[in-house]
Amino acid sequence: MFNGSICALITPFKNGEIDDDAFQSLVDWQITQGTSGLVPVGTTGESPTLSHGEHKRVVDMCIEATAGRVPVIAGTGSNSTEEAIMLTRHAKEAGADAALVVCPYYNKPTQEGLYEHYRAVHDAAELPVIIYNIPGRSGVDMSVATMARLSNLPNIIGVKDATRDLSRPLETRLAIGPDFCQLSGEDATVVAFLAQGGHGCISVTCNVAPALCAQLHQAWREGQMHTVQRLRDRLMPLHDALFLESSPGPVKYAVHILGRCSPEIRLPLVQPREDIKAKIREAITLVDMA
């Protein structure tokens, strides 16, 4: 079971190319700060603009730098089932612990199409698969009924839920059971998600404040609700600031402020506006991550 604060890693660039040293340094920093797991080449890692070779190399580097200290859940989703299978097979061969497979975007499959897509990925690669349900980006919402049907396949083990529907984790737990891993995809609602039966969060904010995110989840597990509430409130300005424009532009800029990578981002995304940058700097000061 994956749980706790899991980082949806950015992919640092330098002069248009992947900055290998900065990426592997970020991986090590995340682990030493208490992060429970790592997700390379998800949406936050700019997977849509990476070539297949770059995508595979980032997964390889993450696994190498992690050296077995925490689980690696490789982003392997695509709106092409064949491409998702290829990337998932690579993740398996590279030594990833699981694959994060997004609901196919743009082509808007039916619920039956979603089932067949995930079944094909499941059958082609012997690797645990986490469904990534994010209707706001993919344009399709997997129903609880379809997810329950998929959970009967032995390697469909959980969901990253970015629906922002806080009834969903409870409905999913009642339909599938408590062992189906439920990870939030929304930093701002993570405490409520945990209270509804969730197990952790695949977090954007963790890129910037890994220790505080890890401490929140630890406090939750230990039943220290005053600490949970204090950390929830302390992190909220950062959650807000990191989504003032399309992610990962703001989070990359925030990590740049911390001196850990360039703020470079690939088109069609661009650097945050100057007024947004000011708000990000202000949020980092307010959170006080020291």
Predicted local distance difference test score (pLDDT) of residue 149: 98
Residue range 53-58: mean pLDDT, rounded: 98
How many domains does the chain divide into? 1
| Model confidence pLDDT, tens digit, residues 112-149 | 999 999 999 999 999 999 999 999 999 999 999 999 99
Residues annotated as catalytic (active site), given as ranges: 132, 160
For 232-251, letters b (16+ CB in 10 Å) and e give: bebbbbbbbbbbbbebbbbb
- Write out the two tokens for 132: 């990534």
CATH number at residue 216: 3.20.20.70
Considering only CA atoms, which of 161, 164, 218, 189 is closest in space to residue 5? 218
- 275, part of any domain: no
- The yes-or-no verdict on residue 290 having pLDDT over 60 is no
- 257, part of any domain: no
- 116, part of any domain: yes
Predicted local distance difference test score (pLDDT) of residue 117: 98
- The yes-or-no verdict on residue 77 having pLDDT over 90 is yes
What does the mean pLDDT of the chain come to? 97
Predicted local distance difference test score (pLDDT) of residue 110: 98
Percent of the chain with pLDDT over 90: 98
- 94, part of any domain: yes
Whether 128 and 157 have beta carbons less than 8 Å apart is answered as: yes
* Integer Cα distance of 210 and 258 in angstroms: 12
- 95, part of any domain: yes
Predicted local distance difference test score (pLDDT) of residue 29: 98
pTM score, two decimals? Answer: 0.97
Exposure of 63 in the CB half-sphere (CA atoms within 13 A)? 19
Q: Is the peptide bond before 40 cis (omega within 30 degrees of 0)?
A: no
Residue 91 CA from chain centroid, whole number = 16
| Model confidence pLDDT, tens digit, residues 18-37 | 999 999 999 999 999 999 99
- In the 8-state DSSP scheme, what is residue 104? P
Predicted local distance difference test score (pLDDT) of residue 289: 66
- 266, part of any domain: no
Expressed as residue numbers, the domain containing 174 is 4-222
For 81-116, letters b (16+ CB in 10 Å) and e give: beebbbbbbbbbebebbbbbbbbbbeeebeeebbbe
- 234, part of any domain: no
- 76, part of any domain: yes
Predicted local distance difference test score (pLDDT) of residue 231: 97
